[in-house]
Amino acid sequence: MTDVANFELGFGTEHPRSIRHISSEALRAQPFPAGSMGPKVEAACRFVEATGNRPMIGRLEDAVELTKGTRGTIVDPAADEIDHAR
């Protein structure tokens, strides 16, 4: 749980794109700042690689929806590409 709704590509730009599902490999390939989302990205990727399980990143108030897969970002070891939230 964190204070952001999900990981975003292009954070701070005019057109950020929320990530719904992503593989650890695709997530690691994205530019996340070390002092910002970088540590969360690294922790999520390590968790996937060590356990094969799917970490979920999102806000505490969205916990129920996060577990249903309707909010937040799920780092999925079986994901083929980036699935952007709509």
CA dist., res. 11 & res. 78, Å (int):
25
> What confidence tens digit (pLDDT) does each residue in 38-81 have?
888 899 999 999 999 999 999 999 999 998 988 999 998 877 66
Identity at 34, one-letter amino acid code: A
Return the closest-CA partner of residue 56 out of 73, 68, 71. 73
> What confidence tens digit (pLDDT) does each residue in 13-50 have?
899 888 888 998 898 888 887 887 888 889 999 999 99
Residue 69 falls in which region: left (phi positive, over 0), alpha (psi -120 to 50) or beta: left
| pLDDT reading at 86 higher than 90 | no
Whole-structure pTM value: 0.81
CA dist., res. 86 & res. 84, Å (int):
6
